[in-house]
Amino acid sequence: MLNFALVAGSGRPNSQSGKVARYLRQRLIDLGLSSEEQTSIVDLGQEPLAQWPDPQSAAWIAHAAKLQAADAVVIVAPEWHGMAAPAVKNFFVYASKAELGHKPGLLVGVSSGIGGAYPISELRASGYKNCRLGYLPEHLIVRHVEKVLNTPEAESEDDRRIRARADYALDILGKYAEALKPVRAAIDMENPAFATGM
Ligand X SMILES: Cc1cc2nc3c(=O)[nH]c(=O)nc-3n(C[C@H](O)[C@H](O)[C@H](O)COP(=O)(O)O)c2cc1C
Contact residues: ligand X, CB under 6 A: 10, 12, 15-17, 78-82, 110-113, 115-116, 145
Which amino acid, 45?
G
Residue 37 backbone class (left: φ over 0; alpha: ψ -120 to 50; beta: rest):
alpha
- Taking the C-alpha atoms of residue 77 and residue 84, their distance in angstroms, rounded to an integer, is 6
Q: How far is the CB of 37 from ligand X (least distance, A)?
A: 26
Q: How far is the CB of 17 from ligand X (least distance, A)?
A: 3
Task: Tell me whether residue 87 or residue 131 sits nearer to ligand X (CB atom).
Answer: 87
Task: Tell me whether residue 4 or residue 80 sits nearer to ligand X (CB atom).
Answer: 80
Task: Tell me whether residue 71 or residue 79 sits nearer to ligand X (CB atom).
Answer: 79
Q: Are 99 and 164 in contact (CB under 8 A)?
A: no
Q: How far is the CB of 23 from ligand X (least distance, A)?
A: 13
Specify the 3-state DSSP secondary structure of 170. Answer: helix
What are the backbone angles phi and psi of residue 69, rounded to the nearest 5°?
Answer: -75, -15
Specify the 3-state DSSP secondary structure of 143. Answer: coil
Q: How far is the CB of 69 from ligand X (least distance, A)?
A: 24
- Taking the C-alpha atoms of residue 169 and residue 140, their distance in angstroms, rounded to an integer, is 7
DSSP code string of 6-70: EEE--SSTT-HHHHHHHHHHHHHHHTTS--STTEEEEETTTS---SS--TTSHHHHHHHHHHHH-
Q: How far is the CB of 194 from ligand X (least distance, A)?
A: 35
Residue nearest to ligand X (CB): 115
Q: How far is the CB of 198 from ligand X (least distance, A)?
A: 31
Task: Tell me whether residue 83 or residue 187 sits nearer to ligand X (CB atom).
Answer: 83
Task: Tell me whether residue 109 or residue 174 sits nearer to ligand X (CB atom).
Answer: 109
DSSP code string of 110-125: E-SSS--HHHHHHHHH
Task: Tell me whether residue 110 or residue 177 sits nearer to ligand X (CB atom).
Answer: 110
